[in-house]
Amino acid sequence: MSLLALAGVTKAFGGLVAVSDLSLEVRPGEIFALIGPNGAGKSTTFNLISGLFAPDSGRIGFDGADVTAAPPAKRAHLGIGRTFQVMQPFHDMTVMENVLVGELFGHAVPKSMAAARSDAAEICALVGLAHLADRPATALGVADLKRLEIARALATHPRLLLLDEVMAGLTPTEARQAVTAIKAIRDRGTTVLLIDHVMSSVRDLAERVAVLNFGRKIAEGSFAEVAADPLVIEAYLGTESDDQVESDGDHGQH
């Protein structure tokens, strides 16, 4: 029984097919990684799962229910949470208030203001932002903004958490802390689906990996399995994980 199931999902923008006939199953309690070169359709997939885009065809199921047509807020209430690749704090609010929005609106049954405030304070402490709780969100540095992204998503108490490149821009030490934090989140009962380019982190975290290239899934399995897949090596890993931006143009020659 899968928690998240994509079946034959396709999304095109004009003539560009960003995601093509994608089928994917994420099991409860696992950490699943979606990797692939830039432009492979990973972020589009996240937008489809969180409801910001509607698929042209295919179905999206969450915990046995068909959510293909559900609006984003409804999906949040069902238990789908996400972070954004480009950090998007509510800059007119404090750190604590950013998290509070998730506590106030992220649940199917609304919480009282008092309960939401105390739960938001707990989340701040959990991600290590307690000492910054009353600072404006604009005062945070990159690593703390990433924490805030995660905290705000956690405040909706997701059963499935989508993490969009949370490692990008972190120092190696910060990235190791993030790996530990993500494992802790999973151990508290949240299933994790993540996108990342930092291969060492994906290797350390993910129990299963799917590889996208030009909107299609070209491989799926353990990190070791996909890393050994000739298709994957050709499409992606062979070009050195950190330089794929420049290498995008090369794929057409294979």
Partner 1 sequence: MTGRTLGRALVGAAIAAAVLLPLAFQGTQPYYLQLAINVLISATLALSWDLLARTGQLSLAHAAFYGLGAYTSVLLTTRAGVPVLLGMAAGALVASAAAVLLGFLTLRLRGIYFAIATLAFSETLRVITNQLPFTGRATGLIAPALLGGQRAAQYLVILVILVVLVIVSGWINRSRWHFAFTAIRTNEEVAAVIGVDVVRFKVLAFAISACFAGVVGAYYAHVFLFISPLEVYSLAVSVGALVAPIFGGLYTTAGPLIGAVVLRAGEELLRSTVGGGYPIIYGFLLAVVILYMPRGLAGLWSAASARLFRRRPLREARAG
Residue 165: alpha-carbon gap to chain centroid: 7
* H or E stretch covering 163: strand 160-164
Q: Least distance from C-beta 42 to partner 1, angstroms? A: 16
Among positions 187-246, residues that touch partner 1 (CB under 8 A) are: none
Q: Taking a C-beta distance cutoff of 8 angstroms, is the pair 42, 24 a contact?
A: no
The strands making up 160-164's β-sheet, listed across from edge to edge, are 80-82, 160-164, 191-195, 31-35, 208-213, 216-221
Q: How many helices (H) and strands (E) does the chain have?
A: 10, 10
User: Which residue number, 124 or 211, has a Cβ lying nearer to partner 1?
Assistant: 124
Among 29, 30, 85, 90, binds partner 1 (CB under 8 A): 90
Stretch that binds partner 1, among 35-43, 110-118, 212-220, 231-239 (CB under 8 A): 110-118
Stretch that binds partner 1, among 8-16, 32-40, 91-99, 216-224 (CB under 8 A): 91-99
19 makes contact with partner 1 (CB under 8 A) = no
82 makes contact with partner 1 (CB under 8 A) = yes
Residue 139: alpha-carbon gap to chain centroid: 24
Among 8, 54, 66, 71, binds partner 1 (CB under 8 A): 71
User: Which residue number, 138 or 180, has a Cβ lying nearer to partner 1?
Assistant: 138
- Give the binding-site size for partner 1 (rule: CB under 8 A): 35
Q: Taking a C-beta distance cutoff of 8 angstroms, is the pair 94, 52 a contact?
A: no
